[in-house]
Amino acid sequence: MQLKFVSSIVLHNYQPKDKYMPKAQFVDFKAVKSAITMEQVLEHYGILDKFKRGTDSFSGPCPIHKGSNPTQFRVSISKNIWNCFSECKHGGNVLDFIARMDDVSIHAAALKAIEWFNLDPEAMSASGDKDEGGETDDKAPAAEAPKPAARKPAIPLAPTAVAEKGAPNAPLKFRLDKLVREHPYLLEQRGLSLETIIDFGLGFCSKGMMADRIAIPIHNVKGEVVAYAGRFPGDPGEDTPKYKLPQGFRKSQELYNIDRAIKEQGPLVIVEGFFDAIKLHQNGWRKVVAIMGSTLSAAQEELIREHTGPASQIIVMLDENEAGQAGREDIASRLSKHCFVRVHTFGKPDMEPEHLTAEELHQILGGGI
Ligand SMILES: [Zn+2]
């Protein structure tokens, strides 16, 4: 199985900040604005359902001046801007909207957005030479846009220790609801039971950034949802990525299913993909984590070390292809410094843990390591 993440939406291969970060940091308003949609922002405020969706618009009562006329406030979806034709007589971009709703500066609005939507602070900060936002291409009231002369630090930099490992992904403050659980992709193509689907919180998402994809909640070790991955239900073709992750989410910081795996006994099985882990769980092996790719990041190694001891057993079971073969050698050599490691190799090319029946799985794992 191949997890192909498109580099433009996923920030992996984290590099220590001090290698290339300039001293003065600014919030790149443009980056923040393009990372979030008005729809997400309305959803964040819990008011999306008050708006009527048109082809390229949402319209409803103005949440800023708290009006009641359902046509006074309008959002252009494609332009990602809003306008109140009534009392406010104003419009603007997503940041202007947050600034008005919360009565804060654009700068503070951008910081809120970074926090609310789990954006990567590093990707959302720009060097002094770059565009600092506040541009008026969409006729936004550039309320407190910083002037090029006002060079003061914007986003506080993470302490060095955190910077080297990469900052943790913040827990999400929203949940994707109204997911369709009984979707043929999950039931038939992936062979999951409804119980498993519900257990893992999977479901087809019809709106928002994961629209038309299967949403897969990713939990941190404490069991908090830190992101939703979106799997295209079927073969997406060449131009569409199979998996989509939220901008700013660092998958290298997480191990899928770690929160539940640490509560189980027996050897820990390491697999590549979400569905490998889910399928193993369904087939009775619950102490399983997925590295969401075929390489183990330093943060993932650290997570495993924190939850294993010298007597612990680990079984590395990656896909039987070139990436999996390369990955498992590296993982085994790194983890064997800390505990007992066994590499499972499949006889057949392109075999994946997901394809194992419960019986085959029992034969492989039944005796432990
Ligand atoms: Zn208004």
Which tens digits make up the pLDDT trace of 52-67?
988 889 999 999 999 9
Range of weakest confidence among 179-183, 236-240, 249-253, 364-368: 364-368
| Ligand 1 centroid, distance to 140 Cα (angstroms) | 15
Q: For residue 44, what pLDDT is reported? A: 87
Separation of 177 CA from ligand 1 center, angstroms? 28
CA 86 to centroid of ligand 1, rounded, Å: 5
117 CA to centre of ligand 1 in angstroms:
24
CA–CA dist 313, 311 (Å, integer): 7
Residue % of the chain over a pLDDT of 90: 54
pLDDT at 216 exceeding the cut of 80: yes
Task: Name the nearest CA neighbour of 136 among 84, 184, 93.
Answer: 93
CA of 102 to the centre of ligand 1 (A): 14
Which contacts (CB < 8 Å, 24+ apart) does range 72-77 have? Answer: 75/38, 75/39, 75/42, 75/51, 77/37, 77/38, 77/39
- Please identify every residue whose CB atom is under 5 Å from ligand 1, which is an ion: 62, 64-65, 84, 87-88
For the residues 153-177, what does the mean pLDDT come to? 61
How many angstroms does the Cα of residue 47 sit away from the middle of ligand 1?
Answer: 14
**Ligand 1 centroid to 45 CA: how many Å?**
16
Q: Looking at residue 367, what is its pLDDT? A: 62
| 366 C-alpha to ligand 1 centroid (Å) | 64
pLDDT in the model for residue 84: 94
Query: Is the per-residue pLDDT at 238 higher than 50?
Result: yes
Quote the ligand 1 centre to 56 CA distance (angstroms): 20
Q: How confident is the model at residue 19 (pLDDT cuts 50, 70, 90)?
A: very low
pLDDT tens digit string along 359-368?
999 988 876 6
* Burial of 340: CB neighbours in 10 Å, binned 0-12, 13-18, 19+: middle
Predicted pLDDT of residue 368:
60
In contact, 232 and 216? CB cutoff 8 Å: no
pLDDT on residue 137: 38
125: β partners? 27
pLDDT digits (tens, 9 = 90+) for 177-188: 889 999 999 999
> With 70 as the cut, is the pLDDT of residue 7 above it?
no
Mean pLDDT of 155-180: 66
What distance in angstroms lies between residue 67's CA and the mean position of ligand 1's atoms? Answer: 6
Longest CA–CA separation in the chain, Å: 72
pLDDT over threshold 50, residue 237: yes
pLDDT at site 174: 84
Distance 209 CA to ligand 1 centre (A): 26
Q: Is 217's pLDDT higher than 90?
A: yes
Q: What is the mean pLDDT of residues 291-297?
A: 93
Q: Which helix (H) or strand (E) holds 301?
A: helix 298-306
With cut-offs at 50, 70 and 90, classify the pLDDT of residue 126.
low
Q: How far is the CA of 84 from the centre of ligand 1 (A)?
A: 5
Taking the centre of ligand 1 as the mean of its atom positions, its distance from the CA of residue 175, in whole angstroms, is 28
d(CA 364, CA 292): 22
Tell me, in angstroms, the distance from the centre of ligand 1 to residue 101's CA: 10
| Cα–ligand 1 centroid distance for 286 (angstroms) | 52
* Torsion (CA) 335, 336, 341, 344 in degrees, nearest 10: 70
DSSP string, 303-362: HHHHT--TT-EEEE---SSHHHHHHHHHHHHHHTTTSEEEE---SSTT--GGG--HHHHH
Six-digit token pair at 250? 């660092």
Q: 74: CA distance to ligand 1 center in Å?
A: 10
DSSP code for 173: S
Residue 223 confidence (pLDDT):
95
Residue 23 has pLDDT above 90, yes or no: no
User: How far does residue 135's CA lie from ligand 1's centre (Å)?
Assistant: 22
